[in-house]
């Protein structure tokens, strides 16, 4: 019989078994995955934050751990929304374990007042979703696709001639590009927070019923504190020469102990578009990365399929799609 229970974050052997199950599941299906490290999971559970609550579930068959679920939701905004991710050991699939985990997760989320649940489903590049186990499972649980992104990869290093070509595209007259590593310098904090808030409302999320949130200095510093336990960060911002106003930013995260990099947010504020700032910002972080961390072998990023401007910029840098992610959502009530 399958029994589903909650993981006590202080129970390290169970937490470790949770992580090993997640790893086995991810690597069975996804050659290009960048799953969280053991250190990252441990750090996430050891330092719960004031904005987001995470609950881990495990499914056991006797003593054997055969599946896991990670459910979470913001506790300061978007109280109707929840995130859910389920993994079942490859050799134990199609036995109803995924459904058992889903049922228990859904019961808990309902009790918590969450009426809208989203989960990310990774399929091979170009896939239409249907016909892939993860997608069909989500559909069987009542979820429908509301947004899709390409998972793209850029092999490193990018050669000098290529960097030179990209440099030639950048407008150097109207904007300066500043870069930093680690936390945002205090003197830029206010403008940086404004851009993060804008990102929260501007990033394409398809039909997901997500309400934008205000990123104030406290929230930004809290996020930095959590992230920099497991990652190094490289940030670039574009500052308009005429008035010092920030027009956009881009961020790279370097997971500790790994050989890849994750390209996170890149935003050009609407009134600053049309100056190739996307290229300028990404190029600045790339050049700093190649100078200071030449050991990294690839950059991964996720870009909405219908974000044509960012797709074109990524293609120009040499990024290639390796997976298609479908965000699946179920609305109850
Ligand atoms: C998706 C996953 C969790 C399913 O787990 P599972 O234990 O095999 O799922 P279940 O046996 O409970 O299946 C429940 C229903 O989902 C559907 N389903 C599951 N796998 C399917 C597949 N390979 N093809 C078609 N339908 C499938 C079926 O309708 C199934 O009901 P049925 O067996 O009565 O026909 C598992 O394949 C997995 O861990 N994949 C990798 C991680 C992942 O992608 N997770 C989903 C994103 S959160």
Which tens digit of pLDDT belongs to each residue from 295-310? 999 999 999 999 998 9
Tell whether ligand 1 has an atom less than 6 A from the beta carbon of residue 137. yes
Task: Give yes or no: residues 101 and 174 share one domain.
Answer: no
Please give the pLDDT value at position 288. Answer: 98
Tell me the per-residue pLDDT of 132-180, one tens digit each, with 9 for 90 and over. 999 999 999 999 999 999 999 999 999 999 999 999 999 889 999 999 9
Q: Torsions phi, psi of 330, nearest 5?
A: -125, 130
Enter the DSSP assignment of 278.
H
Task: Give yes or no: residues 66 and 192 share one domain.
Answer: no
Task: Give yes or no: residues 255 and 202 share one domain.
Answer: yes
Tell whether ligand 1 has an atom less than 6 A from the beta carbon of residue 145. no
Tell whether ligand 1 has an atom less than 6 A from the beta carbon of residue 98. yes
DSSP H or E stretch at residue 210: none
> How far is residue 71's CA from residue 119's CA, in Å, rounded to a whole number?
9
> How far is residue 283's CA from residue 286's CA, in Å, rounded to a whole number?
5
> How far is residue 17's CA from residue 333's CA, in Å, rounded to a whole number?
35
Nearest Cα neighbor of 57 from 3, 112, 4, 131 is 4
List per-residue pLDDT tens for the chain, 333 residues long.
999 999 999 999 999 999 999 999 999 999 999 999 999 999 999 998 888 999 999 999 999 999 999 999 999 888 999 999 999 999 999 999 999 999 999 999 999 999 999 999 999 998 999 999 999 999 999 999 999 999 999 999 999 999 999 999 998 899 999 999 999 999 999 999 999 888 777 666 666 677 777 889 999 999 899 899 999 999 999 999 999 999 999 999 999 999 999 999 898 998 999 899 999 999 999 999 999 999 999 999 999 999 998 999 999 999 999 999 999 999 986
Task: Give yes or no: residues 102 and 163 share one domain.
Answer: no
Q: In what order do the strands lie in the sheet with 246-255?
A: 2-6, 52-61, 64-74, 81-88, 116-124, 320-331, 144-155, 298-304, 260-268, 246-255, 231-240, 175-181
Q: Which stretches within the chain are classed as H helix?
A: 12-29, 38-46, 97-111, 133-140, 160-167, 189-202, 217-227, 277-292, 308-317
Tell me, yes or no, whether 304 lies in a domain: no
Residue 198's Cβ-side half-sphere holds a number of Cα atoms within 13 Å equal to 17
Please give the pLDDT value at position 77. Answer: 85
Tell me, yes or no, whether 329 lies in a domain: no
Tell me, yes or no, whether 148 lies in a domain: no
Task: Give yes or no: residues 183 and 291 share one domain.
Answer: yes
Nearest protein Cα to ligand 1, atom 33: 94
Give residue 150 CA to ligand 1 midpoint distance, Å: 22
> How far is residue 73's CA from residue 76's CA, in Å, rounded to a whole number?
9
Tell whether ligand 1 has an atom less than 6 A from the beta carbon of residue 88. yes
Please give the pLDDT value at position 51. Answer: 86
Q: Structurally, how many domains does the chain consist of?
A: 2
Give residue 70 CA to ligand 1 midpoint distance, Å: 16
Task: Give yes or no: residues 110 and 11 share one domain.
Answer: yes
Tell me, yes or no, whether 47 lies in a domain: yes
Tell whether ligand 1 has an atom less than 6 A from the beta carbon of residue 121. yes
Enter the DSSP assignment of 305.
T
> How far is residue 122's CA from residue 169's CA, in Å, rounded to a whole number?
34
Tell me, yes or no, whether 319 lies in a domain: no
Tell me, yes or no, whether 193 lies in a domain: yes
3-state secondary structure of 244: coil
Task: Give yes or no: residues 198 and 77 share one domain.
Answer: no
Give residue 114 CA to ligand 1 midpoint distance, Å: 23
Tell me, yes or no, whether 123 lies in a domain: no
Tell me the per-residue pLDDT of 67-100, one tens digit each, with 9 for 90 and over. 999 999 999 888 999 999 999 999 999 999 999 9
- According to DSSP, the β-strands at 175-181 and 231-240 are antiparallel
Please give the pLDDT value at position 206. Answer: 65
**What value does the mean pLDDT of the chain take?**
94
Task: Give yes or no: residues 281 and 170 share one domain.
Answer: yes
Residue ending a domain, choose from 91, 114, 137? 114
Task: Give yes or no: residues 187 and 241 share one domain.
Answer: yes
Tell me, yes or no, whether 131 lies in a domain: no
Task: Give yes or no: residues 235 and 182 share one domain.
Answer: yes
Give residue 26 CA to ligand 1 midpoint distance, Å: 14
Task: Give yes or no: residues 282 and 191 share one domain.
Answer: yes
Task: Give yes or no: residues 20 and 85 share one domain.
Answer: yes
Tell whether ligand 1 has an atom less than 6 A from the beta carbon of residue 18. no
Instruction: Work out which ligand 1 atom sits closest to the CA atom of 95.
Output: 11
Q: What is the CATH number of the domain that holds 60?
A: 3.40.630.30
Nearest protein Cα to ligand 1, atom 42: 87
Domain that holds residue 83: 2-114
Please give the pLDDT value at position 50. Answer: 82
Instruction: Work out which ligand 1 atom sits closest to the CA atom of 28.
Output: 41
Instruction: Work out which ligand 1 atom sits closest to the CA atom of 99.
Output: 12
Nearest protein Cα to ligand 1, atom 7: 98
Tell whether ligand 1 has an atom less than 6 A from the beta carbon of residue 326. no
Nearest protein Cα to ligand 1, atom 16: 137
């Amino acid at each position: 019989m399958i029994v589903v229970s909650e993981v006590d974050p202080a129970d390290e052997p169970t937490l470790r078994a949770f992580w090993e199950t997640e790893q086995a599941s991810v690597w069975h299906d996804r050659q290009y995955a960048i799953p969280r490290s053991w250190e990252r999971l441990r750090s996430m559970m050891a330092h719960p934050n004031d904005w987001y609550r995470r609950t881990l579930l495990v499914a056991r068959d006797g003593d054997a751990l055969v599946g896991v679920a990670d459910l979470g939701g913001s506790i300061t905004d978007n109280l109707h929304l929840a995130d859910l991710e389920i993994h079942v050991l490859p050799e134990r699939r199609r036995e109803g374990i995924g459904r058992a985990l889903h049922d228990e997760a859904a019961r808990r989320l309902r009790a918590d007042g969450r009426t809208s649940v989203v989960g990310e489903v990774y399929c091979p590049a170009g896939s239409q979703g249907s016909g892939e186990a993860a997608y069909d499972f989500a559909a069987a649980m009542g979820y429908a696709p509301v947004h899709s992104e390409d998972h793209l990869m850029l092999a490193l290093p990018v050669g000098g001639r290529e960097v030179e070509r990209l440099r030639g595209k950048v407008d150097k007259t109207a904007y300066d590009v500043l870069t930093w590593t680690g936390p945002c310098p205090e003197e830029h904090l206010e403008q940086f927070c404004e851009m993060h808030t804008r990102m929260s409302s501007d990033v394409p999320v398809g039909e997901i019923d997500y309400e934008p949130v205000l990123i104030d200095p406290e929230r930004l510093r809290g996020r930095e504190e959590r992230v920099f336990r497991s990652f190094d960060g490289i940030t670039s911002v574009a500052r308009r020469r005429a008035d010092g106003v920030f027009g956009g930013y881009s961020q790279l995260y370097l997971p500790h102990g790994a050989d890849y990099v994750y390209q996170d947010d890149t935003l050009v504020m609407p009134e600053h578009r049309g100056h190739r700032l996307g290229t300028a910002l990404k190029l600045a972080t790339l050049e700093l990365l190649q100078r200071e961390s030449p050991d990294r072998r690839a950059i991964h990023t996720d870009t909405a399929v219908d974000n044509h401007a960012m797709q074109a910029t990524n293609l120009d840098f040499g990024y290639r799609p390796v997976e298609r992610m479908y965000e699946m959502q179920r609305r109850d009530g």
